[in-house]
Each structure stands twice: as structure tokens, then as C-alpha cells.
């Protein structure tokens, strides 16, 4: 979901540039630097052994291979929702694959390849709780979302005005609150929620309610004006769908119960 830029982003970028040299010029020769999320199971997750998992990781790795980069030549860098544009502008990453919804405001600052996935805002509830089947059922109940996210307010303003909202720093904290019955539901993109529900140890504990409260077209962000890279990524995404790798990655990362839409047509770069 959309998260407003924090005031400290510029300072974070300045620190990153200070510690990494001069951005893109200081990246290891012969490597491809890709921005992903490190804390979203099913999407982009840094595992305890230092490896990476998730749908965006699989997409990025496939694209990199089509660009001529083997996995050992990929450098994954952590990105946050509020710094993706800046990291591209400062050449800290070559492209970003991080549940990155395409919208007009972002297109003013970066170019997108794709889309390669369609997500919708949904609700995650405890599997045994049958009292919540739609957003309106959240009236007089407790809803969790991440601080600064617009998703909870979308529900409270339009569908469940009597819902109380608990904002926590991350979705992992919301999941703990949901498991411990501190809240009755959590909300964000269904892809992120499905990743948490399918993660080892969570099987059977939670369920998605199947709401389509928004449409999020995930794209791969590239630096503004880099039409060559945009075109190559679009070609790679088309091939991933055609050879079955895209569907295999969806099923692998989101679990057997996730109701996904077919791969969307490529609409960027034309």
C-alpha cells in the first residue's frame, strides 16, 4: 500500500551515500544491484541464513538471468516503501522489485517495467474467527496496520467507521497482535498477507477474507529515462509468463489457497 515519505529519508540516503561511496559508481564491478524488501514473507524476505526468498526475489532473479547475470552476481539491497524513488535516482540500485505499485505520482520520478502482478487490499483474520467475512464486519472491532499506511484509513473512512485502528511499526508486529487477539484483523495487500499466512509455522492459523478493496499493479522501478533497461525487463517478464516460471513462483510463495489473478498485460514502455 502507499506509505507517505518520511522526513528522515533524505538523511538516510545521505548516510547510504556516505557509507557506500558515490552510489552507482562504487558498486562492485560486474554485479547487478536490485532493491527488494527484506521483511515481507512471500514477497521479499531475508532469511536467517542470509539467503533471500519471496515472489519478488524470484522475479528479480529471473529478470537478472535474462539480463546476463547469474545469482552470484546479484546484490540484493534493502529498500523501504518511502525510499525507493531516491535509491533509483542516486544509482544505489539498478532496479527495484519490492511490492512497488505503479501510480502516476511515482511515474513522475521513476519509470516502470510491467506490471507483473496484481494485488488487492484485503484482511487477514484468525482462522477460527468466523465473525469477519467483509470489511463492514470490522465495526466495533480492532484493526491493525503499519504506521503511516493508508490501508486502515481506507476501511475506517469508507466501510467501517466504528473500527478502532492500532498502528504498529511493521506487519510482523501486527501479525503477533493478531495471533495474541490484541486485534481482530490486519490489512494491507493480499500478496503480503498471503505470504505471512503461508510462512512455515503459520499454516492454518490465519485466513484471508478475499476482499478487493484496492487494485495494486506491481511494477519494477528503473531510473527515469532508462528506456533500454525498461524494455529489456519487459521482455524478461513476458518470457517468465510464457515459460510457466511466473505461475510456478506465485504458487511457491503464496500458498495453495491464495486466489491470484493471471499475469497482467505489460502496459509500460510503449
Q: Are strands 32-36 and 185-189 parallel, antiparallel or unpaired?
A: unpaired
Q: Does residue 15 have a pLDDT over 70?
A: no
Q: In what order do the strands lie in the sheet with 39-40?
A: 39-40, 44-46, 52-53
Domain that holds residue 197: 121-208
Which uninterrupted H or E stretch holds 33? strand 32-36
Q: 31 and 154: one domain?
A: no
Q: Does residue 4 have a pLDDT over 70?
A: no
Distance CA 89, CA 222 (A): 9
- Could you tell me the pTM of the whole model? 0.80
Q: Does residue 11 have a pLDDT over 60?
A: no
Q: 227 and 184: one domain?
A: no
Q: Which residue has the higher pLDDT, 9 or 79?
A: 79
The per-residue pLDDT for 256 is: 78
Distance CA 82, CA 68 (A): 30
Q: Grid cell 517495467 — which residue?
A: 113
Q: 52 and 149: one domain?
A: no
- Segment 204-216 shows an average pLDDT of 93
Distance CA 218, CA 97 (A): 8
Counted domains in the chain: 2
Q: 115 and 14: one domain?
A: yes
Q: Which residue has the higher pLDDT, 184 or 5?
A: 184
Q: 86 and 166: one domain?
A: no
Q: Does residue 263 have a pLDDT over 60?
A: yes
Q: 172 and 229: one domain?
A: no
Which residue, 152, 178, 208, sits at the end of a domain? 208
Taking all residues of the chain, what is their mean pLDDT, rounded to a whole number? 88
Q: 110 and 17: one domain?
A: yes
Give Cβ neighbours of residue 143 (< 8 Å, ≥ 6 apart).
Answer: 152, 155, 156, 160, 163, 164, 165, 166, 183, 184, 185, 186, 187
Q: 26 and 107: one domain?
A: yes
Residue 65 lies in a domain: yes
- What CATH number is associated with residue 149? 3.40.190.10
Residue 5 — pLDDT band, cuts 50, 70, 90? very low
Q: 14 and 88: one domain?
A: yes
The per-residue pLDDT for 154 is: 85
Is residue 116 within 8 Å of 73, Cβ to Cβ?
no
Q: Mind listing the pLDDT tens digit for each residue in 37-88?
A: 998 889 999 999 999 999 999 999 999 999 999 999 999 999 988 889 999 9
The per-residue pLDDT for 21 is: 37
The per-residue pLDDT for 139 is: 96
Amino acid at each position: 500500500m502507499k506509505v507517505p515519505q518520511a522526513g528522515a529519508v533524505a538523511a538516510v540516503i545521505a548516510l547510504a551515500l556516505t557509507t557506500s561511496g558515490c552510489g552507482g559508481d562504487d558498486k562492485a564491478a560486474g554485479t547487478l544491484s536490485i532493491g527488494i524488501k527484506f521483511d515481507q514473507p512471500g514477497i521479499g524476505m531475508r532469511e536467517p541464513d542470509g539467503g533471500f526468498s519471496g515472489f519478488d526475489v524470484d522475479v528479480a532473479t529471473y529478470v537478472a538471468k535474462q539480463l546476463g547475470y547469474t545469482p552470484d552476481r546479484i546484490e540484493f539491497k534493502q529498500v523501504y516503501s518511502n525510499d525507493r524513488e531516491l535509491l533509483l535516482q542516486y544509482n544505489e540500485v539498478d532496479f527495484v522489485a519490492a511490492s512497488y505499485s505503479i501510480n502516476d505520482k511515482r511515474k513522475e520520478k521513476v519509470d516502470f517495467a510491467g506490471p507483473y502482478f496484481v494485488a488487492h487490499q484485503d484482511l487477514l483474520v484468525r482462522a477460527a474467527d468466523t465473525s469477519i467475512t467483509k470489511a463492514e464486519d470490522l465495526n466495533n472491532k480492532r484493526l491493525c496496520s503499519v504506521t503511516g499506511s493508508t490501508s486502515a484509513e481506507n476501511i475506517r473512512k469508507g466501510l467501517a467507521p466504528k473500527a478502532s485502528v492500532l498502528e504498529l511499526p511493521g506487519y510482523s508486529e501486527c501479525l503477533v497482535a493478531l495471533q495474541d487477539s490484541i486485534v481482530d484483523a490486519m490489512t494491507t495487500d493480499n500478496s503480503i498477507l498471503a505470504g505471512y499466512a503461508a510462512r512455515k509455522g503459520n499454516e492454518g492459523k490465519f485466513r484471508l477474507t478475499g476482499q478487493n478493496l484496492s487494485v495494486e499493479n506491481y511494477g519494477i522501478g528503473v531510473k527515469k529515462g532508462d528506456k533500454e533497461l525498461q524494455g529489456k525487463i519487459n521482455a524478461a517478464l513476458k518470457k517468465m509468463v510464457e515459460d510457466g516460471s511466473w505461475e510456478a513462483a506465485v504458487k511457491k510463495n503464496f500458498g495453495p489457497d491464495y486466489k491470484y489473478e493471471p499475469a497482467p498485460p505489460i502496459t509500460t514502455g510503449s
